[in-house]
Amino acid sequence: MRLAKIDWALGAVLATMVVAVSACGSSSKTSSSANLPTTIGKGEGQLNLVAWEGYTQPEWVKPFEAQSGCHVHSKYAGSSDEMVTLMRQGGGQYDMVSASGDASLRLIRGGEVTQMNVALVPEWKNFIPQLQSPSHNTVEGKHYGISLQWGPNTLLYNTKSVTPAPTSWSVIYSPKYKGQVTVPANPIQIADAALYLSKTQPSLGISDPYELTEAQLNAAASLLKQQKPLIKKYWALASDEIELFKNGDTVIGAAWPYQYSTLIADHEPVQQIIPKEGATGWADTWMLATHAKDPNCAYKWVNWVSSPKVQAQQAISYGETPVNTKACPFMETIQKGSCPLYHANAPAAYFDSIKFWKTPVAECGNGQSDCMDYSRWQQKWTEVTG
């Protein structure tokens, strides 16, 4: 979800969307101008979430339930596509979703999520500036969610089996570890291939791994087709990849910091790096469903997970970076050295160096309309994985 401007065509579509905005229950006051809640009412007693695995851990969910009276029910999704499908077909079953940038704009455009009032989230003012109003969740000044955490997609490898230590993404495209490679089962993986090609085949002219012409998309797909025979399994859930490494079925692959921190905690011989070509990454957002049945509990949840302490707990548990700049002291209390380890105090340049997920659209950032939209990416990914 790289912080890039939404193209004018997409902005025009979003500006004309009619989005039904839910008030926070009968006990809440709403503003007449935007029909946004101005206070948070009494909790409804439950909260139904679509979340990434690891985002609703007992260490911060149970205290929230005790404090708010809102009992949390979680549905883990293995990909952004699954999150979008669950929100579209849930029939009001879910209140919130922890959407990444390759899903958030689709949810906004589809009307599955509604505008939120950041004034009801006091810690929002302490977020890093780049994630207060990023283009993947804020359109025409309207906030369709509250940023949560962010991090890079890393190269994970078994230190005993993979020698010498890799420095490039080339290792997951090389036959050296045939049958021992794993990557996410996700069309956005095309961006990783495109990023690699942007450095190794500059003649392709790829400047943005999410803005690909047909020729560039075909080149990325071709690389991934060459990679397919090397793949042991395309992983859906983070736990899938963890088990692959624990069982020795795979020794190298594309991963998230969560897998690394979990495996290290279990004393597995693994290491993760950001290769020399760079990395893609994500910045996640808690988004409120348009037809949320428990909006008061949803706002209470957002405030809970935005607090410095819980931001620190989730960051260390998952191996990602908090958006709240006040989280560092809490991180250091929990695990000394974790603040710099997860780049929570890094300069803006580090954040800007990661190619954050965003939804591919036809309108390229250069003003042209010859880029392949997400539906074309999905078609290519199906061709690759067969």
CA distance 304 to 61: 9
pLDDT tens-digit readout, 323-345: 999 999 999 999 999 999 888 99
Q: Does 368 score more than 60 pLDDT?
A: yes
Q: In what order do the strands lie in the sheet with 252-255?
A: 231-235, 181-184, 252-255, 154-158, 270-273
Do 30 and 108 fall within a single domain?
yes
Do 249 and 379 fall within a single domain?
yes
Q: Residue 318 sits in which domain range?
A: 8-150+283-345
Do 370 and 331 fall within a single domain?
no
CA distance 184 to 346: 27
Do 324 and 339 fall within a single domain?
yes
pLDDT tens-digit readout, 109-149: 999 999 999 999 999 999 999 999 998 999 999 999 999 99
Task: Give the mean model confidence (pLDDT) for residues 270-278.
Answer: 95
pLDDT tens-digit readout, 38-96: 999 999 999 999 999 999 999 999 999 999 999 999 999 988 999 999 999 987 899 99
Is 94 among the domain residues? yes
Alpha-carbon radius of gyration of the chain: 20
Do 231 and 211 fall within a single domain?
yes
* Residue 67 confidence (pLDDT): 97
CA distance 186 to 382: 10
Structure confidence at residue 154 as a pLDDT band (50, 70, 90)? very high
Do 378 and 255 fall within a single domain?
yes
Structure confidence at residue 361 as a pLDDT band (50, 70, 90)? confident
- Give this prediction's pTM: 0.79
Return the residue matching tokens 């008030």. Answer: 23
Domain count across the chain = 2
Is 355 among the domain residues? no
Residue 35 pairs with which residues in a beta bridge? Answer: none
Two tokens, residue 300:
């209470």
Do 162 and 144 fall within a single domain?
no
Name the maximum alpha-carbon separation found in the chain. Answer: 63
Is 3 among the domain residues? no
* Residue 367 confidence (pLDDT): 81
Two tokens, residue 272:
């993760």
Phi-psi region of 145 (alpha: psi -120 to 50; beta: other; left: phi over 0): left
Do 321 and 205 fall within a single domain?
no
Is 16 among the domain residues? yes
Is 289 among the domain residues? yes
Is 178 among the domain residues? yes
Query: Which of 183-187, 285-289, 362-366, 372-376 has the least mean pLDDT?
Result: 362-366
Do 134 and 189 fall within a single domain?
no
pLDDT tens-digit readout, 217-246: 999 999 999 999 999 999 998 999 999 999
Is 352 among the domain residues? no
Do 57 and 140 fall within a single domain?
yes
Query: Which of 27-41, 267-281, 304-318, 361-375 has the least mean pLDDT?
Result: 27-41
* Residue 34 confidence (pLDDT): 57
Is 320 among the domain residues? yes
Do 26 and 95 fall within a single domain?
yes
237: CATH: 3.40.190.10
Do 118 and 259 fall within a single domain?
no
